[in-house]
Amino acid sequence: MPGILVVAEAAEGAVTPASFELIGAARKLSGEGAGPVAAFIAGSEAQAKELIAVGADSAYTSDAATQADILLPAVQAAVAQSGADIVLIAQSSLGRDLGPMLAFANNTGVAMDSTELKIEAGRLRATRSAYGGNARAEHTWKSPLQVVTVKAKSFDAPEADASRSGAVTAIAEKGESKITVLGTEKAVSTGIRIEDAAVVVSGGRGLGDESAFKALEELAGTLKVAAVGASRAACDLGWYPPSQQVGLTGKTVSPNLYIAIAISGASQHMAGMAGSKNIVSINKDADSNMVRVSKFAIIDDYKKVLPALIEEIKKLG
Amino acid sequence: MNIIVCVKQIPDPETPAASFKVDEAAKKVIPAQGIAPVVNPYDPQATEAALRLKDAAGGGKVTVISLGPDSARDAIKHALAMGADEGVLLNDPAFDDIDNFQTANALAAAIKKIGECDLVLMGRASADWDMGVVPLGVGQALGVPVVSVAKAIEKTANGVKVERVLDDGFQTVEAPLPAIVTVSNEFGEPRYPQLRQIMMAAKKTVQVWSAADLGLGADATGAANRVMPLEALYVPKVESNVEIIEGDSPEEKARNLAQKLRAAKLI
Ligand SMILES: Cc1cc2nc3c(=O)[nH]c(=O)nc-3n(C[C@H](O)[C@H](O)[C@H](O)COP(=O)(O)OP(=O)(O)OC[C@H]3O[C@@H](n4cnc5c(N)ncnc54)[C@H](O)[C@@H]3O)c2cc1C
Ligand SMILES: Nc1ncnc2c1ncn2[C@@H]1O[C@H](COP(=O)(O)O)[C@@H](O)[C@H]1O
> Domain locations in chain B?
2-225, 237-267
Q: Which of left, alpha, beta for A122 (phi over 0: left; psi -120 to 50: alpha)?
A: left
Cα distance between residue A306 and residue A206, in whole Å: 13
Residue type, position A205, single letter:
R
Listed as ranges, residues in chain A with pLDDT below 70 are: 1, 189-190
- Select the residue from A309, A314, A315 to test the B interface by mutation, using most B Cβ atoms within 10 A: A309
- Asked whether B139 lines ligand 2 (CB < 6 A), one says no
Facing residue for B186 by CB, picked from A143, A242, A294: A242
Asked if the C-beta of A300 comes within 8 angstroms of chain B's C-beta atoms, the answer is yes
Cα distance between residue A286 and residue A6, in whole Å: 44
- Asked whether B131 lines ligand 2 (CB < 6 A), one says yes
Cα distance between residue A297 and residue A292, in whole Å: 9
State residue A118 phi and psi, 5-degree precision: -150, 160
- Asked whether B7 lines ligand 2 (CB < 6 A), one says yes
pLDDT at B96: 93
Listed as ranges, residues in chain B with pLDDT below 50 are: none
Contact list in A for residue B173 (CB cut-off 8 A) is 179-182
Beta bridge partners of B38: B10
Residue type, position B47, single letter:
T
pLDDT at A1: 64
pLDDT at A273: 97
Asked if the C-beta of A232 comes within 8 angstroms of chain B's C-beta atoms, the answer is yes
Distances in whole angstroms, Cα of residue B101 to Cα of each of A269, B119, B184 = 27, 21, 21
User: Between A302-316 and A212-223, two packed helices, what is the crossing angle to 10 degrees?
Assistant: 20
Q: Which of B64, B58, B60, B57 lies closest to B82 in space, CA to CA? A: B64
Asked if the C-beta of A36 comes within 8 angstroms of chain B's C-beta atoms, the answer is no
Cα distance between residue A67 and residue A72, in whole Å: 9
First to last CA, chain B: 58
Facing residue for B166 by CB, picked from A93, A280, A300: A93
Q: Is the ipTM of this complex over 0.90?
A: yes
How far apart are the CA of A162 and the nearest CA of chain B, in angstroms?
A: 30
Distances in whole angstroms, Cα of residue A200 to Cα of each of A13, A249, A255 = 26, 17, 6
Contact list in B for residue A304 (CB cut-off 8 A) is 249-251, 254
Distances in whole angstroms, Cα of residue A245 to Cα of each of A60, A206, A235, B166, B191 = 34, 15, 7, 12, 24
pLDDT at B60: 96
pLDDT at B62: 98
How far apart are the CA of B61 and the nearest CA of chain A, in angstroms?
A: 25
A187 CB-contact burial (10 Å; exposed 0-12 / middle 13-18 / buried 19+): middle
In this structure, are residues B228 and A109 in contact, taking their beta carbons and an 8 Å threshold?
Answer: yes
In this structure, are residues A147 and A114 in contact, taking their beta carbons and an 8 Å threshold?
Answer: no
In this structure, are residues B104 and B146 in contact, taking their beta carbons and an 8 Å threshold?
Answer: no
Asked if the C-beta of A95 comes within 8 angstroms of chain B's C-beta atoms, the answer is no
pLDDT at A254: 95
pLDDT at A188: 74
Helix (H) or strand (E) holding B163: strand B160-166
Contact list in B for residue A194 (CB cut-off 8 A) is none
pLDDT at B177: 98
- 3-class state of residue A253 by DSSP: coil
- Compare all CA atoms of chain A with the CA of B128 and give the residue at the minimum distance: A131
Residue type, position B98, single letter:
I
Facing residue for A293 by CB, picked from B170, B174, B240: B240
Cα distance between residue B225 and residue B249, in whole Å: 62
- Compare all CA atoms of chain A with the CA of B40 and give the residue at the minimum distance: A131
CATH architecture, domain B2-225: 3-Layer(aba) Sandwich (3.40)
Ordered domains of chain A (ranges, CATH): 4-170 (3.40.50.620), 199-315 (3.40.50.1220)
In this structure, are residues A41 and A59 in contact, taking their beta carbons and an 8 Å threshold?
Answer: yes
Cα distance between residue A104 and residue A96, in whole Å: 13
Residue ranges of alpha helices (H) inside chain B are: 42-57, 73-82, 100-114, 134-142, 195-201, 250-263
Facing residue for A96 by CB, picked from B140, B145, B148: B148
Could you tell me the distance, in angstroms and rounded to a whole number, from the CA of residue A267 to the centre of ligand 2? 21
